[in-house]
A = this chain, B = another copy of it.
Amino acid sequence: MTVRVQAEDFDVGAEIDALTRDRHTIGGVTAFVGLVREIAGGDAVSAMTLEHYPGMTERQLEAIEAEARRRWPLDDVLLVHRYGRLEPGDRIVLVLTASAHRQAAFESCHFLIDWLKTKAPFWKREETPQGDRWVEAKDSDDTAAARWAENPVWPGG
């Protein structure tokens, strides 16, 4: 189990290698890499800054990682989320899930990123030609996360 919240970039290939090395029960790894887009809400974005809540952010990521492991048979999970100022094309977040079975790897990876978007304590500020602005939460993200709810009480929510 690994959760990292860091300013530094990450190396996707190296992380997958570290997760799978000499572990021959793993049949599949699903990875999701989130990247900064140059357009958001129709406006050009020259950069964004991610703020987090040191301590709580790591705790919440650890809690959801434990939840994913409870729901799916996973060999390993890695969550890496950056904070600070990022430019278009920069990597923001990495989710890796490893399992004997691809279905478990896919579903748990999708679950984790949908959760990160709606429940992880991060806040985005975008730099646009119209000035800086805080990004508002999207209803579509809540909808995406809601489909994973097993019952009305969402973990951590």
CB-based nearest B residue for A36? B24
Is there contact, CB below 8 Å, between A30 and B32?
yes
Beyond A16-B13, A100-B37, whether A89 also contacts B30 by CB under 8 A is: no
Q: Does A14 contact B (CB under 8 A)?
A: yes
Is there contact, CB below 8 Å, between B30 and A35?
no
Chain A 62-109 residues near chain B, CB threshold 8 A: 88-89, 100, 102-103, 105-106, 109
Q: Does A137 contact B (CB under 8 A)?
A: no
- Stoichiometry, as copies per complex, reads 2
Beyond A89-B22, A106-B110, whether A37 also contacts B27 by CB under 8 A is: yes
Instruction: Say which residue of B24, B106, B113 sits within 8 Å of A32 (CB atoms).
Output: B106
> Which residues of A line the B interface, CB within 8 A?
11-14, 16, 20-39, 88-89, 100, 102-103, 105-106, 109-110, 113, 144
Q: Can you sample 26 A-B contacts with CB below 8 Å?
A: A12-B12, A12-B31, A13-B13, A13-B14, A20-B35, A22-B89, A24-B36, A24-B37, A24-B88, A24-B89, A25-B37, A25-B38, A25-B39, A26-B35, A27-B35, A27-B37, A28-B35, A28-B113, A29-B32, A29-B35, A30-B30, A31-B32, A31-B33, A32-B105, A102-B113, A103-B144
